[in-house]
Amino acid sequence: MNRAVERRERDAALRRDIILQAAVERIAADGLDAMTLAGLAHETGLSERTVGKLFLRRENILLESCEHHMDALVAAAEAADLPAVRTRRRLDALAIGLAAAIGERQAAHRTLAIGLVHLPAKMLLDISRKQNWLATLFADAIAACLPEGTHKPKFANAAVNSLLALLLADRPEPLARGVYARFCVTCTLEGLRRAVKGKEGKASF
């Protein structure tokens, strides 16, 4: 590949990033309808022709924004994971890592929530696979917290869904992310304990 081609590709990638960032900020602040190709051209200083050439439709911009954010969440969870640790510490680390990534990318996270509602399911297959991988990481971490013989998959799966729903929810900021993540883990494990052992059970995990 010659230098001219490399430069064009690098410039195109930079423009894409600029457009995506502007789109995320506009969608998060004012909703999907406020994001238009003409508006993005005005906000980025690019021509509407350039924006349209890089992204044929608004849906393409929304989808790529969502995919980038989902990649960031998965990367944060994987970086925080402690697969060799078979205690609650692993679950706390995963939850805190995910919550921190959301806190650093709030506009992108709101955009993802909007994309999951507005984009057709066939466009969300890659995002769904990554969501399933996140669920797998958390399911294994939850299983590591349980005393031997108490792991019940149907309860554990519900616990994973509950915990991820809490962590991924868009919420006010007054509570520190690490505190909030540990709180979510505590609530999830207590609910799981009660489901497995009943309200009078003596399990502790």
- The answer for 45, left when phi > 0, alpha when psi is -120 to 50, beta otherwise, is left
Q: What pLDDT, on the 0 to 100 scale, is given for residue 148? A: 63
Look at residue 26 in the predicted model and tell me its pLDDT: 96
Largest CA distance in the chain: 71
pLDDT for the residue numbered 72: 97
Query: What pLDDT is stored for residue 205 in this prediction?
Result: 46
Q: Could you tell me which residues come within 8 angstroms of residue 190 by beta carbon, excluding any fewer than 6 positions away?
A: none
Interatomic CA distance for residues 108 and 162, integer angstroms? 22
* Secondary structure string (H, E, C) spanning 9-58: HHHHHHHHHHHHHHHHHHHHHHCHHHCCHHHHHHHHCCCHHHHHHHCCCH
Q: Could you give the count of Cα atoms lying within 13 Å of 95 in the half-sphere of its Cβ?
A: 32
Q: What tokens were used for 128?
A: 């769904």
Reported pTM: 0.87
Residue 30 to residue 38: CA distance in whole angstroms: 16
Mind listing the domains of the chain with CATH numbers?
Answer: 1-56 (1.10.10), 64-205 (1.10.357.10)
Across 140-203, the runs of DSSP E, i.e. the strands, are none
Q: pLDDT value at position 3?
A: 79
> What string of pLDDT tens digits covers the 205 residues of the chain?
577 778 888 988 999 999 999 999 999 999 999 999 999 999 999 999 999 999 989 999 999 999 999 999 999 999 999 999 989 999 999 999 999 999 899 999 999 999 999 999 999 999 999 999 999 999 999 988 876 655 567 788 889 999 999 998 866 565 688 889 999 999 999 888 887 776 444 544 4
Q: What pLDDT, on a 0 to 100 scale, did the predictor assign at position 177?
A: 82
